[in-house]
């Protein structure tokens, strides 16, 4: 049987009908909101390339987190911007580092809110690279020690999930071993497993003050044309003990999300990164795109591709529209 008996438009005729056959629904619990924390108090400074996003001191952060919890958003992911940066990223794994302080404060004042921490060094190194620079490159194996120490310090402060984003080889195993050795056997690892060397991180680097001072990140982050290599990255991270994996950026890499979803059964996250956010914001401010619809369509597409967790700067406005 075919046309004219079969007419797919029958199921699209009314709002009620479309609602009934809808395959993909966004929920606030799918979202994780990235937040940027700075030292001091009483400061909330808008990031010019990311309207509606701020660098905040801990007092403002706590208020923001109350709002996030009230909206039913899945959680937050914290990025720290320390006053002091050095060659060895010492503030990344200091027990009184800015992220560690922020986690403690949020856990005390907003209990029940899920707190993820980004485990990386680029916000903490004077040169802006994600690890120990030896010669002109980042040394993988020394960097693993910093990452493991950071993850443990975050878990100690009360982080619910640690999320390494550095793209060093072997970091998931190193972090798992360090967490377990320190008694954090129940702290999950959300690995940024397939993270590409993307131009779409531009606005984030302004927000996190983490642009590399020389060179770029192409010797550790993935080359955009490669998809099979992403599957190898994900497979290795799963073998090393990742509890959840992430694909980043999201919209330009939906094929990777979809292939990972078909192949593995663990939770898959996707990061709608700063540049993806800023493109939609800029176009809508120019009157070229409808903000709400572009936001919801892009998020729905990411979920439809197979990501059940979406890190997004739209978490609050999207949660209000779910």
Distance of CA 286 to the CA centre of its chain: 27
54: nearest Cα among 69, 66, 43: 43
For ligand PBG, the closer CB: 116 or 178: 116
- Give the N- to C-terminal CA distance of the chain in Å, as an integer: 38
Choose one: 59-67, 98-106, 117-125, 154-162; the region binding ligand PBG (CB under 6 A): 117-125
Q: Does the annotation count 85 as an active-site position?
A: no
Choose one: 101-109, 114-122, 137-145, 224-232; the region binding ligand PBG (CB under 6 A): 114-122
- Choose, by CB under 6 A, the member of 32, 76, 92, 130 that binds ligand PBG: 130
Under the binding rule (CB under 6 A), the answer on residue 191 touching ligand PBG is no
The contacts of residue 316 (CB under 8 Å, 6+ apart) are 33, 67, 68, 71, 73
- Choose, by CB under 6 A, the member of 38, 61, 103, 122 that binds ligand PBG: 122
Residue that the structure tokens 């992220």 belong to? 99
C-alpha–C-alpha distance, residues 157 and 95, integer Å: 8
Choose one: 105-113, 183-191, 199-207, 233-241; the region binding ligand PBG (CB under 6 A): 199-207
Q: Min. distance of Cβ 70 from ligand PBG in angstroms?
A: 24
- Choose, by CB under 6 A, the member of 53, 55, 153, 165 that binds ligand PBG: 165
Under the binding rule (CB under 6 A), the answer on residue 274 touching ligand PBG is yes
C-alpha–C-alpha distance, residues 216 and 84, integer Å: 22
Query: Which of positions 209-268 make contact with ligand PBG (CB under 6 A)?
Result: 217
C-alpha–C-alpha distance, residues 319 and 30, integer Å: 9
* The residue count for the chain: 322
Under the binding rule (CB under 6 A), the answer on residue 120 touching ligand PBG is yes
Residue-by-residue DSSP string for 30-85:
GEEEEEEEESSSS-EEE-TTSTT-EEE-HHHHHHHHHHHHHTT--EEEEEEE-S--
For ligand PBG, the closer CB: 120 or 256: 120
Chain residue whose CB lies nearest ligand PBG: 204
Q: Does the annotation count 303 as an active-site position?
A: no
Active site residues: 195, 248
Interacting residues with ligand PBG (CB under 6 A): 118, 120, 122, 130, 165, 201, 204-205, 217, 273-274
């Amino acid at each position: 049987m075919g046309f004219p008996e079969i007419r797919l438009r029958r199921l699209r005729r009314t709002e009620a009908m479309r609602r009934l056959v809808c395959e993909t629904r966004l929920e606030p619990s799918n979202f994780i909101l990235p937040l940027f924390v700075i030292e001091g108090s009483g400061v909330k400074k808008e990031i010019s390339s990311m309207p509606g996003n701020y660098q905040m001191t801990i007092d403002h952060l706590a208020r923001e987190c109350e709002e996030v919890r009230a909206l039913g958003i899945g959680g937050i992911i914290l990025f720290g911007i320390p006053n002091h940066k050095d060659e060895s990223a010492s503030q990344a794994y200091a027990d009184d580092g800015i992220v560690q302080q922020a986690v403690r404060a949020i856990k005390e004042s907003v209990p029940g809110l899920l707190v993820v921490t980004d485990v990386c060094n680029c916000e903490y190194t004077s040169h802006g690279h994600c690890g120990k620079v030896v010669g002109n490159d980042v040394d993988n194996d020394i960097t693993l020690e910093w990452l493991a120490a950071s993850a443990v310090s975050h878990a100690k402060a009360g982080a619910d999930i640690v999320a390494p984003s550095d793209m060093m080889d072997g970091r998931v195993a190193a972090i798992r071993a360090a967490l377990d050795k320190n008694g954090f056997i129940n702290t999950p690892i959300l690995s940024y497993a397939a993270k590409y060397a993307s131009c779409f991180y531009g606005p984030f680097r302004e927000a996190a003050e983490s642009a590399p001072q020389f060179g770029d990140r192409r010797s550790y982050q993935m080359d955009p044309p490669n998809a099979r290599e992403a599957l190898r990255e994900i497979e290795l991270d799963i073998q090393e003990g990742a509890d959840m994996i992430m694909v980043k950026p999201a919209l330009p890499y939906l094929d990777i999300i979809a292939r990972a979803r078909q192949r593995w059964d663990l939770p898959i996250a996707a990061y709608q990164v700063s540049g993806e956010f800023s493109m939609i914001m800029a176009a809508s401010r120019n009157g070229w795109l409808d903000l709400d619809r572009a936001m919801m369509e892009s998020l729905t597409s990411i979920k439809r591709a197979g990501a059940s967790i979406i890190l997004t700067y739209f978490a609050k406005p999207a949660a209000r529209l779910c």
